[in-house]
């Protein structure tokens, strides 16, 4: 104790020349700090930067360009650009038309024959490939995104709405609910963008998505077994168990003609996909295969009159463009919560796919996509869509990849695609009459097979076991329980993991690397050695309410002594434990990796300092960061717990300055 | 680019002597890692430590002592210890008996006269002060905790159960529900302890509790206005607005006799409290005041027959001990979800109070309270309580403080208190017949006033504005909306804050403090200077799925160059921006404060490395921690993105080693 008195009195003077002081960050008012924090949270991409210092007129032009990116590229649009966009647009149209037709299957869970929808807009899928791309080409900032219905959002929307309405018995109500859910999805997406809350979709981590996509692909494929085998009576549930039992309980309904046809086309499509992936130059084979399948199968059915031999076909479809559907939106109380929930879930899922696709291709071509702006564009597109007989649409990853490969230059390729779809809607609809459902099923299966990304899952396993657990839970949840449950579990698990890292922060014992002034983790660096008389610990997380109890009980409380013992045990030295405990004089806490503290954290540091003093041990804080330093100073004004020489800039300086007091007391 | 080639070829060799390598932590299998992580998460306090290396018989003894801490202290219990416990026990009994009687008011929202409960156990509050303390004295490990009903848990349970049953019209059902909710609370508390999930209560931060306590105190006090003013018709709602409007809409019902009596006793109690706080030696005045008030007021009412002048009294109460109530537990579907929810909320709240009180007094007397063990004890105590006509009980902070001050030594003081309560229940109940309700109201108000901790709120405001916001939202939520909403908002807000710190991590630009090899935040240390050719950044959070998008878009992506510009802008130097960007050769990422990465984080580092290389900029990682280093190495096996010399142990070594290449390329 005498040594301590000496140190308090003179130590600081004696060593002050060699020692650097810890600085406080420049003072900043609370309002300024809040502003900075708000900006970092909601405007990290600084969208107003380019408005700065511009004349008023220019500001208006910039604002218009921000809202309507079409104004950015349209004025300088040229014929050569159009040629590229034309090719790309036709390419994606050839993919989109068969896909769009079949995504409606997913929405209705393949449980409906188109004929039943005679009084309704017959091909909502195609409608959704017509209006939204046009809206997106005006509002969207991605040049590569191909917009339209996507498999997973169709699947999720269908499975959620089927819980409140039966598409077979009441298709009209079902479509109304689908449009209403689409409206809410759009509203939700646009609000996320306007409120700058886009970071919410970041919580769908890569691992979650890998599992989710694979699970969805399997569910979608299994659903198609119905059409592939020609089964008439099929379960309405989505899980693997009811679907498989439904398949094998209805073996008498299997139609060999349908199955044979389906397997042939599926084999052809998978082969084309394989060739397209192996030889990037031949990618057009995989792109053209679906359209070719539709044409060939339609011709075959027409020529051999297979519809009379148990092969079910789409049937007659009326020509005509989208009709207004705002009068079909249902806002009464009965179905409101169901449509809002469906809108929320499909909104997030489709947003995640759209934004991720947009960012991927933007980074490939080195331009920037503003996430929040994109959300507004996708949201508006869905709101407009819901009023024009479309259901939820977004940027599809697979079609965008085709668009990108086909050499699109601007969003004009979407216009080209929409125009092609329009021509189809106006003129070519009757041609689909003989298209067999089985070939659509084969196209769906071939399309979603690519979503099962086994190598990505392997890499996740190799890198991070907990991430793999997230991936697996997402996969199993989707396959065996439900799409929403699977997603919720995976998101909950990954968020819980983050919270757990804060709640149970790492604490490491630090030693000196001999011959240097470098101090590092003694576990990681075997050559690092502890210094007699000192216990040096580093905390690796913000110190806050969620971990102070843990830190106190587990790590640094010195009463009872057993906790300190835990740290000393790790050092290998000839002296006995008791000797070491007795010779300990300083507990150095390295705060370099503590970005923030809250009031609980300050209380913790304060109490630690006081309680260890009782045991003749002094706590030294090393290198607190700006915010931590500020709070320590403010707390010191209240509690006065920072004595002279409680703060050092580096561990090395602390050890050198304090070593004399160890020898004195020894 | 030539410089880089040279560096790749020779640089490492040239400088390797001066440079320390980053070590990987000693290899550990996945299973071992999982074991360590599980232990840190669920058994941080290492409860099995003392079993290690003991003979089998001793292990049994230790296990019994762990489960029944009474075995720990009872064998060595002495008469001198008992003398202390007797004094403390009688002291808390004198406080507990009036309090326990009135907490039942809170449960029933003061909306019931005891006479109506004639067919029911009359004084559940006193019952709850009899059985649970006996159970706790056997199972509990705290020596200071005084167990019984507490105001806030009573309030919360009452307000939640009143949503499903009316205590006035159906008091029997209401009591059944209270016992059932108590059962679920106990079950939930015990499960938390057994599953080692005690850290869940840490999420009730100090700031949340300060706001919650103050809000509850105000609600409780306002409720007592009914009895203080003698109002007969009163609202059943809890919020400030309905209660105040109820008070001022019934001014004709105010009884001046009741009000005068109430204000006198309230003034006396507050004065006694003030004296007790100012002079710690006179604390017995504040302790004895409630009992004195009850006795005096009862005598006054009896002598002047005030019950005939509009002063309502408790009325006749039957003598008798707790009756079994397990047959009253309701597990049928109608009320199951309500009782489970009530049990969950009151369970957590009462647990938080009990554990916090236990820890506070344990640290004052330097012994240790095992949080998870305490949860099991409190949980079992409530399960037993629910079967013996008790509602939810826990360790009360205020009474434990009195117990501690009165010099209790062991949990025996709880036994003494329970015995005193037993005598009261058996013999003294008729004496309460003339006790006026108004004096109970005054006792409640005087008791909860201490829960409004203004200085604590001020300190929170001074230290941390966001914590204050949490505190305020908890307070306002409880006062204006509901207890559950207030708590949920505050917990949500503080959890969201933690997530936000991860989602929007701090990133700082680092410079050299001239004349040293110390590198620090250039914002915090004004003397720190940037080094030409280098951009040194530090990330202050785990790099994971929730922040990689932000880091990429905001901070380190070099395409487009504007993001790097953001960092260079901050440096003040004579050269122009373009020059600086052009002369940049190395981006040094200090990973010292990055405790973990996940697969998204690895992908981010990988892509950063690759995309910056395109721009002729090389990324150097400095001081990755154990886990990060391990993952980098594993990722390197897959992606091969760590070139030679991509890793350095300190920023200083990296700068010294790489500086020659800056000059070369310049």
Mean pLDDT (whole number) for A462-470: 89
Cross-chain Cβ contact A625/B498 below 8 Å: no
Angle between helices A599-614 and A626-639 (to 10 degrees): 60
B410 close to B89: Cβ distance less than 8 angstroms: no
**Ranges of H-type helices in B145-255:** 151-161, 171-194, 206-229, 240-249
For the cut 90, the answer to whether the pLDDT of residue B564 exceeds it is no
Q: To the nearest whole percent, how much of chain A has pLDDT over 70? A: 88
Best residue in B52, B464, B528 for a mutation probing chain A (most A CBs within 10 Å): B464
Cross-chain Cβ contact A23/B465 below 8 Å: no
N-term to C-term CA, chain B: 11
Instruction: Tell me the pLDDT tens digit for each residue of B245-286.
Output: 888 887 787 888 888 888 999 999 999 888 888 887 877 787
A560 or A553: whose pLDDT is higher?
A553
Task: Using CB atoms, pick whichever of B34, B525, B595 lies closest to residue A593.
Answer: B595
How far is the C-alpha of B220 from the C-alpha of A92, rounded, in Å? 67
Mean pLDDT (whole number) for A225-244: 78
A329 close to A176: Cβ distance less than 8 angstroms: yes
| pLDDT, chain B, mean | 81
Measured between beta carbons, the chain A residues lying within 8 angstroms of B602 are 463-464
Task: Using CB atoms, pick whichever of B501, B625, B649 lies closest to residue A542.
Answer: B501
Cross-chain Cβ contact A603/B206 below 8 Å: yes
Task: Using CB atoms, pick whichever of A40, A546, A649 lies closest to residue B498.
Answer: A546
Measured between beta carbons, the chain B residues lying within 8 angstroms of A494 are 545
* Beta-bridge partners for A520: A511
Give the closest-approach CA distance of A559 to chain B in angstroms: 6
A648: nearest Cα among A628, A623, A619:
A623
For the cut 90, the answer to whether the pLDDT of residue B398 exceeds it is no
Mean pLDDT (whole number) for A360-388: 86
Mean pLDDT (whole number) for B401-418: 88
Residues whose CB is less than 8 angstroms from the CB of residue A113 and which lie 6 or more positions away in sequence, other chains included: A312, A315
Give the closest-approach CA distance of A583 to chain B in angstroms: 21
For the cut 70, the answer to whether the pLDDT of residue A51 exceeds it is yes
Instruction: Tell me the pLDDT tens digit for each residue of B125-168.
Output: 788 888 999 999 999 988 889 998 887 888 788 878 888 887 77
Best residue in B545, B559, B627 for a mutation probing chain A (most A CBs within 10 Å): B545
Cross-chain Cβ contact B550/A505 below 8 Å: no
How far is the C-alpha of A103 from the C-alpha of B651, rounded, in Å? 55
For the cut 60, the answer to whether the pLDDT of residue B14 exceeds it is no
Best residue in A374, A470, A498 for a mutation probing chain B (most B CBs within 10 Å): A498
Cross-chain Cβ contact A504/B44 below 8 Å: yes
Task: Using CB atoms, pick whichever of A495, A600, A603 lies closest to residue B499.
Answer: A495
Mean pLDDT (whole number) for B473-490: 88
B38 or B525: whose pLDDT is higher?
B525
A333 or B329: whose pLDDT is higher?
B329
Cross-chain Cβ contact B550/A207 below 8 Å: no
| pLDDT, chain A, mean | 81
For the cut 60, the answer to whether the pLDDT of residue B664 exceeds it is no
Instruction: Tell me the pLDDT tens digit for each residue of B292-306.
Output: 888 898 888 888 887
B531 close to B509: Cβ distance less than 8 angstroms: no
Q: For each of the domains in chain B, give its residue range(s) and CATH number, in order of start.
A: 2-31+505-665 (3.30.750.24), 79-498 (no CATH)
Task: Using CB atoms, pick whichever of A494, A504, A554 lies closest to residue B545.
Answer: A494
Q: Is the four-CA dihedral A417, A421, A426, A430 of positive or negative sign?
A: positive
A237: nearest Cα among A482, A501, A533:
A482
Cβ neighbours of A400 (radius 10 Å) = 24
B463 close to A599: Cβ distance less than 8 angstroms: yes
3-state DSSP assignment of residue A510 = strand
pLDDT band per the 50, 70, 90 thresholds, residue B189: very high
Give the closest-approach CA distance of B377 to chain A in angstroms: 19
Give the closest-approach CA distance of B432 to chain A in angstroms: 44
Measured between beta carbons, the chain A residues lying within 8 angstroms of B518 are 20, 649-650
Residue A127: the pLDDT is 84
For the cut 80, the answer to whether the pLDDT of residue A566 exceeds it is no
Best residue in B461, B524, B606, B640 for a mutation probing chain A (most A CBs within 10 Å): B524
Cβ neighbours of A319 (radius 10 Å) = 12
Measured between beta carbons, the chain A residues lying within 8 angstroms of B550 are 44, 199, 202
Beta-sheet strands, E only, within B513-617: 519-521, 534-539, 586-590
Measured between beta carbons, the chain B residues lying within 8 angstroms of A366 are 559-560
Cross-chain Cβ contact A599/B459 below 8 Å: yes
């Amino acid at each position: 104790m005498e040594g301590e008195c000496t140190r308090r009195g003179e130590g600081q003077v004696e060593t002050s020349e060699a020692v650097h002081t810890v600085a406080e960050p420049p003072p900043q008012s609370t309002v300024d700090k809040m502003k900075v924090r708000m900006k970092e949270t909601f405007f990290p991409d600084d969208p107003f930067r380019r408005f700065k210092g511009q004349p008023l007129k220019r500001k208006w032009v910039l604002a218009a360009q921000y809202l309507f990116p079409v104004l950015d590229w349209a004025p300088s649009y040229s014929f050569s650009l159009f040629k590229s966009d034309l090719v790309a647009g036709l390419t994606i149209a050839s993919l989109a038309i068969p896909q769009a037709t079949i995504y409606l299957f997913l929405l209705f869970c393949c449980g409906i024959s188109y004929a039943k929808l005679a009084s309704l807009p017959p091909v909502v899928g195609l409608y959704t490939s017509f209006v939204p791309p046009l809206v997106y080409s005006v509002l969207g900032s991605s040049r590569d995104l191909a917009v339209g219905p996507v498999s997973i959002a169709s699947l999720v929307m269908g499975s959620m709405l089927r819980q409140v309405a039966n598409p077979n018995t009441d298709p009209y109500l079902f479509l109304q609910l689908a449009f209403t859910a689409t409206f809410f999805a759009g509203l939700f997406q646009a609000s996320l963008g306007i409120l700058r809350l886009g970071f919410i979709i970041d919580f769908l981590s890569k691992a979650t998505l890998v599992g989710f996509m694979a699970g969805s692909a399997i569910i979608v494929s299994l659903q198609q077994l119905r059409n592939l085998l020609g089964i008439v009576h099929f379960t309405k549930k989505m899980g693997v168990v009811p679907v498989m039992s439904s398949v094998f309980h209805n073996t008498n309904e299997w139609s060999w003609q349908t199955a044979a046809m389906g397997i042939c086309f599926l084999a052809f499509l998978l082969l084309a996909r394989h060739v397209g992936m192996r030889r990037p130059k031949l990618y057009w084979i995989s792109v053209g295969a679906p359209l070719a399948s539709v044409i060939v199968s339609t011709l075959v059915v027409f020529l051999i009159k297979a519809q009379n031999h148990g092969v079910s076909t789409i049937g007659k479809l009326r020509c005509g463009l989208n009709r207004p559907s705002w009068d079909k939106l249902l806002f009464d109380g009965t179905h409101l919560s169901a449509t809002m929930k469906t809108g929320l879930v499909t909104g997030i899922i489709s947003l995640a796919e759209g934004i991720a696709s947009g960012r991927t291709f933007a980074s490939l071509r080195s331009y920037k996509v503003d996430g929040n702006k994109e959300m507004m564009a996708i949201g508006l597109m869905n709101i407009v869509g819901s009023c024009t007989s479309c259901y939820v649409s977004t940027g599809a990853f697979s079609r965008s990849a085709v668009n990108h490969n086909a050499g699109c230059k601007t969003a004009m390729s979407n216009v080209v695609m929409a125009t092609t779809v329009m021509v189809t809607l106006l003129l070519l609809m009757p041609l689909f009459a003989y298209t067999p459902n089985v070939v659509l099923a084969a196209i769906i299966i071939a399309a979603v097979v690519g979503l099962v990304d086994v190598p990505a899952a392997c890499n996740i396993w190799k890198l991070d076991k907990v991430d793999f657990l997230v991936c697996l839970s997402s996969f199993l949840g989707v396959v065996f329980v439900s799409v929403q449950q699977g997603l919720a579990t995976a998101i909950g698990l990954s968020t819980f993991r983050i919270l757990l890292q804060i709640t149970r922060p790492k604490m490491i014992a630090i030693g000196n690397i001999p011959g240097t002034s470098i101090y590092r983790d003694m576990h990681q660096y075997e050559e690092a050695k502890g210094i007699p008389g000192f216990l040096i610990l580093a905390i690796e997380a913000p110190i806050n309410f969620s971990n102070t109890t843990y830190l106190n009980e587990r790590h640094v409380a010195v009463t009872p002594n057993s906790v300190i013992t835990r740290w000393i045990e790790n050092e290998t030295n000839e002296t006995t434990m008791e000797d070491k405990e007795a010779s300990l004089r300083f507990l150095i806490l390295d705060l370099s990796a503590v970005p923030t503290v809250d009031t609980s954290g300050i209380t913790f540091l304060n109490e630690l300092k006081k309680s260890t003093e009782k045991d003749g041990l002094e706590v030294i804080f090393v290198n607190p960061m700006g915010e931590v330093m500020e709070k320590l100073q403010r707390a010191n004004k209240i509690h006065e717990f920072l004595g002279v020489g409680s703060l050092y800039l580096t561990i090395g300086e602390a050890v050198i300055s304090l070593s004399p007091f160890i020898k004195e007391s020894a």
